[in-house]
Amino acid sequence: MPLPKGDYVSDVWKDGIFANKVVFCTGGAGTICSAQVRAMVHLGANACIVGRNVEKTENMATDIATARKDAKVIGIGNVDVRNVESIQAAVHKTIEELGGIDYVIAGAAGNFLAPINQLSPNAFKSVMDIDVLGSYNTLKATLPSLAISAKRTKTESSPSPLGGRIIFVSATLHYTGTPLQAHVGVAKAGVDALSNSVAIEFGPRGITSNVIAPGPIAGTEGMERLSRKEDAAAGKKQIPLGRWGTVREIADATVYLFSEAAGYVNGTTLVVDGGSWRTQSTNPSSGFLYPDFLVGDDVVSGVKGTKKAKL
Residue 310: what pLDDT? 47
Q: Which of 21, 149, 188, 227 is catalytic?
A: 188
Mean pLDDT, each 10-residue run in order, the chain (311 residues): 89 97 97 97 98 98 98 98 97 98 97 92 97 98 98 78 96 93 97 98 97 92 62 77 95 98 97 92 57 67 54 44
In a domain, 204, yes or no: yes
In a domain, 91, yes or no: yes
In one-letter notation, the amino acid at residue 146 is: L
In a domain, 252, yes or no: yes
The dihedral through the CA atoms of 229, 230, 231, 234 has a sign that is: positive
Q: Which of 34, 145, 149, 170 is catalytic?
A: 170
CATH number of the domain bearing residue 163? 3.40.50.720
In a domain, 108, yes or no: yes
Least Cα distance to 104 among 210, 8, 10 occurs for 210
Give the range of the structural domain holding residue 62, as residue numbers without chain letter.
Answer: 14-295
In a domain, 273, yes or no: yes
Residue 255: what pLDDT? 98
Catalytic residue status for 170: yes
Q: Edge-to-edge strand order for the sheet containing 103-106?
A: 73-76, 46-50, 22-26, 103-106, 165-169, 208-214, 269-272
Give the orientation angle of helix 134-153 with respect to helix 84-98, to 10 degrees. 30
Query: Distances in Å between the alpha carbon of 306 and those of 83, 163, 181, 288?
Result: 25, 39, 11, 13
Number of domains in the chain: 1
The dihedral through the CA atoms of 56, 250, 136, 146 has a sign that is: positive
In a domain, 301, yes or no: no
In a domain, 224, yes or no: yes
In a domain, 307, yes or no: no
